[in-house]
Amino acid sequence: MTIAGWSLILLFTALTVALAKPIGSWLFALYEGRSTPLHRVLGPLERGFYRLSGIRPETEQGWRAYALHMLLFQLVLTAFSYAILRLQAILPLNPRGLAGVSPDGALNTAVSFATNTNWQWYSGEATLGNLAQMLGLTIHNFLSAATGIAIAFALFRGFARSEARTVGNFWADVTRVTLYLLLPICVVYALFLVGSGVPQTFTSTFDLTTLEGVKQTLVLGPVASQEAIKMLGTNGGGFFNANSAHPFENPTALTNLVQMLSIFAIGSGLTYCFGKAVGNTRQGWAILTAMMVLFLAGVSVTYWQEAVGNPVLHQLGVAGGNMEGKEVRFGIAASALFSVVTTAASCGAVNAMHDSFTALGGMIPLFNMQLGEIVVGGVGAGIYGFLLFALLAVFIAGLMVGRTPEYVGKKIEAREVKLAVLAIAMLPLCILGFTALSAVLPLGLAGPLNKGPHGFSEILYAFTSGTANNGSAFAGLTAGTPWYNGLLTIAMWIGRFFIIVPALAIAGSLAAKKHTPETAGSFPTTGPLWIGLLVGIILIVGGLTFLPSLALGPVADHLAMVSGQLF
């Protein structure tokens, strides 16, 4: 570990916290439906869209209607992308004449992008043409991110409103977030990437001769535009198979830092937006502080393990940290930081191969996802996932110390706790259930590249990533088979919408309640005690649920490594 490495980590953390208020303030304006400076330019476009589609943005919806419209929207988008992927061979903007994607692969990819997972079992540059990349996939990068923020807005309204029957208008929320937040930032972001060396062209390939005299064909395409929303919307995926380790996606140390910041930017801003929505910004800062505590703990362990390296190689006289699977231009610190950032959020983009990390270094990204990716988390998904844990924590605190279970002025009763537990339980149900099946059946065992605990970790990581809507992978797993495509499709759908619907039900339940003023019997939810309780509940729930599987995978792999055995 070096001073430069720790300086990068601290700089990144400081910039993330500094961005929370300005981005959160912009989000709060969209949450309230207020005008922003961009309304002067883009307002006619928004109003025209409403007129064409027959949407009345001032007409609000109850949580059931909000959920129904959201689900129907996602089903239509999924079917649209599935058709583009299947028909790719006969559609335009396919200069290399790539074939259509197989039925199971197309369904897996369409669901993957609709759920903000962006799991890719294929090599992007060898499987998808420009139209499939731009229209079939990038459309989801915007709309799945906007959907996540819309769900967060609906839950915020549940806490903020009193004796109300509505939680907002889904179509208005998605439109405003896309038009006034995601699109403008991505235009500027894409131009920055182009200026840094990221391609943005319809040219399909470029032939060159290397210094060794070998002819090589490079694949090009509209990369910068997809890269911008992939990071800002915490989508992940990638135009190239090497993802953000590829110099055409992430060419410099500056682009690497900006990409990491963009992954956390909206997630951290939503914590401040929540505080503004409930009339107490200290609530938002408390949530962000708890997130940062978990984040820094994870980064510290990963950086430490990768800097220490492999003791087996040390015995053979190979000194230094673990550089396997990492780009030299980024090094250990930036690679370790990126791995924790992308799995603390639901991004899944990678600038190093997690399968090549040390056992405990790779365990932290895995554990981040198993917590539900609430450590900042995906765009929208992180904050509403974190609030589910907050409801559980305040209820447990009430049981322990005899305080009234209240959170930001709303009494937390049996209905809210049951719905929160139901949503939280969806992750272990899918992750552990599908991992168990794949670890014992021949169809599942055909996937891992490695044997022993590391092979088990590859399977566990895949279903954790899919269910948590992350999309990163332990690269050793061969997942492009009907078995993994099918199970991961189910896992991704459950991991997204079986969390969203209970969250919306909680929003509807809370919105109907009266505000309860704080009393001497209320449990304080802004100070260090609350932050410590939140962190403790998250770690205990995650630890008790997933510790046995982690013991069979990364922990056993680590113990074998220190004893001289590698897999």
Per-residue confidence (pLDDT) for residue 320, from 0 to 100: 80
Task: Tell me the pLDDT band of 396, cut-offs 50, 70 and 90.
Answer: confident
More confident residue, 7 or 395: 7
The pLDDT of 111-138, averaged and rounded, is: 90
User: Is residue 123 over pLDDT 90?
Assistant: no
Task: Tell me the pLDDT band of 563, cut-offs 50, 70 and 90.
Answer: confident
Condensed to tens digits (0 to 9), the pLDDT of residues 506-516 reads 999 999 999 88
Task: Tell me the pLDDT band of 542, cut-offs 50, 70 and 90.
Answer: confident
Helix (H, G, I), strand (E, B) or coil at 119: coil
Judge contact between 448 and 324, C-beta under 8 A. no
Per-residue confidence (pLDDT) for residue 210, from 0 to 100: 86
Condensed to tens digits (0 to 9), the pLDDT of residues 322-380 reads 999 999 999 999 999 999 999 999 898 999 999 999 999 999 999 999 998 888 988 98
Per-residue confidence (pLDDT) for residue 132, from 0 to 100: 92
- The crossing angle, in degrees rounded to 10, of helices 381-401 and 482-511 is 60
Helix (H, G, I), strand (E, B) or coil at 352: strand
Domain chopping of the chain, boundaries: 27-263
The pLDDT of 197-204, averaged and rounded, is: 90
Instruction: Give CA–CA dist 524/530, Å, rounded.
Output: 7
- What percentage of the chain has pLDDT greater than the value 70? 99
Per-residue confidence (pLDDT) for residue 81, from 0 to 100: 95
* Long-range contact set of residues 121-125: C-beta below 8 Å, sequence gap at least 24: 121/479, 121/480, 121/484, 121/485, 122/241, 122/480, 123/240, 123/241, 124/237, 124/238, 124/239, 124/240, 124/241, 125/219, 125/221, 125/239, 125/240, 125/241
Location of structure tokens 């948590």? 468
Mean of pLDDT over the chain = 92
Task: Tell me the pLDDT band of 1, cut-offs 50, 70 and 90.
Answer: confident
The pLDDT of 247-257, averaged and rounded, is: 95
Q: Is the dihedral of CA 477, 482, 483, 484 positive or negative?
A: positive
Instruction: Give CA–CA dist 419/45, Å, rounded.
Output: 38
Amino acid code (one letter) for 283: Q
Per-residue confidence (pLDDT) for residue 461, from 0 to 100: 95
Instruction: Tell me the whole-structure pTM to 2 decimals.
Output: 0.94
Strand partners, 351: none
Instruction: Give CA–CA dist 321/324, Å, rounded.
Output: 9
Six-digit token string for 59: 């007409």
Instruction: Give CA–CA dist 106/98, Å, rounded.
Output: 14
Instruction: Give CA–CA dist 352/88, Å, rounded.
Output: 30
User: Is residue 521 over pLDDT 80?
Assistant: no
Per-residue confidence (pLDDT) for residue 523, from 0 to 100: 78
In our burial notation (b when 16+ CB lie closer than 10 A, e otherwise), range 375-387 reads bbbbbbbbbbbbb
Instruction: Give CA–CA dist 522/527, Å, rounded.
Output: 13
Per-residue confidence (pLDDT) for residue 172, from 0 to 100: 96
Instruction: Give CA–CA dist 471/463, Å, rounded.
Output: 10
What's the burial of 544, exposed, middle or buried (CB within 10 Å: 0-12/13-18/19+)?
exposed
Location of structure tokens 């682009």? 255
128 phi, psi to nearest 5 deg: -120, 135
Residue 300 contacts by C-beta under 8 Å, 6 or more apart in sequence? none
Per-residue confidence (pLDDT) for residue 378, from 0 to 100: 86
Per-residue confidence (pLDDT) for residue 406, from 0 to 100: 87
Condensed to tens digits (0 to 9), the pLDDT of residues 273-292 reads 999 999 999 999 999 999 99
Per-residue confidence (pLDDT) for residue 278, from 0 to 100: 94
Per-residue confidence (pLDDT) for residue 516, from 0 to 100: 82
Instruction: Give CA–CA dist 234/469, Å, rounded.
Output: 10
The pLDDT of 12-37, averaged and rounded, is: 95
Instruction: Give CA–CA dist 264/356, Å, rounded.
Output: 24
User: Is residue 16 over pLDDT 90?
Assistant: yes
Task: Tell me the pLDDT band of 126, cut-offs 50, 70 and 90.
Answer: confident
User: Is residue 518 over pLDDT 80?
Assistant: no
User: Is residue 400 over pLDDT 80?
Assistant: no
